Structure 1
Amino acid sequence: MQEIVLLLQDPAAWIALVTLVIMEVVLGIDNLVFISILTNKLPSEQREKARRVGILLALVLRLALLGTVAWIVKLTTPLFEAFGHGFSWKDLILIAGGLFLVWKATKEIHHNVDPVDHEEDFIASSATSTFASAIGQILLLDLVFSVDSIITAVGMTDHLPIMIAAVIIAVVIMLIAATPLANFIEQNPTIVMLALGFLLMIGMTLIADGMGFHVPKGYVYTAMAFSGLVEALNMFARRKRQAQRDARKKLH
């Protein structure tokens, strides 16, 4: 308790907390996009519940991992060397998570680009896309992002209470943003393709990081922001053209 009081009085601790919250929220964008695409395939009455349960279980997972932070840090110790790079457990987890993201994004892109050719597969996947499987996939991907973010957080602060507070605040923000984001993605088909492209890029970034080729996150998120801006302009232009067509119909 005394340690927490001292932290509350330390300006450096507040700076570290704000920085960690921003980092967790930025990393959480990847997770939210994946959760939105995954839960939108569920029956409408289950979607919001699946998002909440998935995000809350992800919070429990992250808090549990923070409790083993000393063990998590050891995951960066190389296990073996190949192609001139020492692979650690963290690298293997990132590669596995990246491959999963690439596979999932590619599969969804196929379904969206050629729905007729994949109609039978889509029906089968929708039947097997149950509440439990959606939660399981959310937790699987969150495990990958959690390991990465916790190791980064350890390099920014030594205080566990700050890490815990940052995770809780970031998850609350994710809970608030999850449903509006999912609804927005569902209502705009072009956004779905853009989001899948983001997941594909993030998956390749995770694989590259695991292979020892570090890609600065700033480049990735700048590309995502630019693509989002271009798509927002396209949406605005489409709505303006539609409004003009509707106005001409009323005149006739």
Structure 2
Amino acid sequence: MDIVGLVQDPSAWIALVTLVVMEVVLGIDNLIFISILTNKLPVEHRAKARKVGIGLALVLRLVLLATVAWIVQLTEPVFEIFDHGFSWRDLILISGGLFLVWKATKEIHHNVDPEAHGEDFIATSTTINTGFASAIGQILLLDLVFSIDSIVTAVGMTPHLPIMFIAVIAAVTVMLVAAAPLANFIEKNPTIVMLALAFLLMIGMTLIAEGMGFHVPKGYVYTAMAFSAAVEMLNMLARNRRKRAAGGH
């Protein structure tokens, strides 16, 4: 179907809206990781790191979409263990999940006991350039994991590449706009940092489970995240009221 036919097809518009929403929701995971990662850089380099990382992530996703036929083949089993077939997609999800669990655990330890070690979250090098490059590399690494998963899901929703391209561009644009406010909010609220790291742990375990063949409905994961965030928002409101009350006396 050509572009004109897609524009005139109501089902194509429904698929586009659905894909945009799905990409934005899936982008929350990546955005939390980007916020925590770039907040470890010097203040003057954070905005640039977010823009470069998300911009390169967009290029990566568009390149992967251009090879969608190859991406779909990644779901074919390449070997079996105990009668369970593992595909390249499964291995990528498991590797990405282990990476997230390791990074989140390391940062939780650093936040709880910062004097125990001197290394930061994104690099062991003391040079800013190395830290910047490390942050960009890790952003792209994790985006590769999420991109392959979302593309495989998108292929099951629509066969039209233009719809996928528009959905990806729209979702990454939302990420670019929301990155700075989210990063600033996380930095100003230490309890939010721990909550975000807990989210990353949960997401990492979900990726590992998916790679092992156990389907975890995304609705359950995001409902738990939304509930935890709502509870923390109530706690923040309560703390602010206590501070105002103490200041008034």
TM tier relative to shorter chain: over 0.9
Structure 1 vs Structure 2 CA RMSD = 1.3
Q: Distance between the aligned counterparts of 1:234 and 1:209, measured in 2? A: 33
Query: 1:105-184 to 2 correspondence within 5 Å?
Result: 105-118=104-117, 120-122=118-120, 125=124, 127=126, 130-184=131-185
For the 8 Å contact 1:78–1:86, the answer to whether it is kept is yes
Q: Distance between the aligned counterparts of 1:202 and 1:36, measured in 2? A: 15
For the 8 Å contact 1:36–1:181, the answer to whether it is kept is yes
Per the alignment, residue 198 of structure 2 pairs with: 197
Distance 1:150 1:122, change over 3 A: closer
Per the alignment, residue 68 of structure 1 pairs with: 67
For the 8 Å contact 1:208–1:215, the answer to whether it is kept is yes
Shift in Å at residue 174 of structure 1?
A: 0.6
Q: TM-score, normalised by structure 2?
A: 0.96
Q: Distance between the aligned counterparts of 1:160 and 1:17, measured in 2? A: 11
For the 8 Å contact 1:66–1:160, the answer to whether it is kept is yes
Shift in Å at residue 200 of structure 1?
A: 0.4
Shift in Å at residue 116 of structure 1?
A: 2.0
**Structure 1 stretches of at least 4 aligned residues deviating more than 6 Å after TM superposition:** none
Q: Distance between the aligned counterparts of 1:106 and 1:138, measured in 2? A: 17
Q: Distance between the aligned counterparts of 2:225 and 2:192, measured in 1? A: 12
Shift in Å at residue 172 of structure 1?
A: 0.6
| 1:240 is the counterpart of 2:241 | yes
Cα deviation, 1:47-103, whole Å, max 9, x if unaligned, reads 001001100100000000000000000000000111331000000000000000000
Partner amino acid, structure 1, of 2:174: I
Q: Distance between the aligned counterparts of 1:31 and 1:21, measured in 2? A: 15
Per the alignment, residue 37 of structure 1 pairs with: 36
Shift in Å at residue 126 of structure 1?
A: 7.0
Partner amino acid, structure 2, of 1:159: H
Q: Distance between the aligned counterparts of 1:126 and 1:243, measured in 2? A: 42
Shift in Å at residue 110 of structure 1?
A: 0.2
For the 8 Å contact 1:42–1:126, the answer to whether it is kept is no
Distance 1:21 1:45, change over 3 A: same
| 1:221 is the counterpart of 2:219 | no
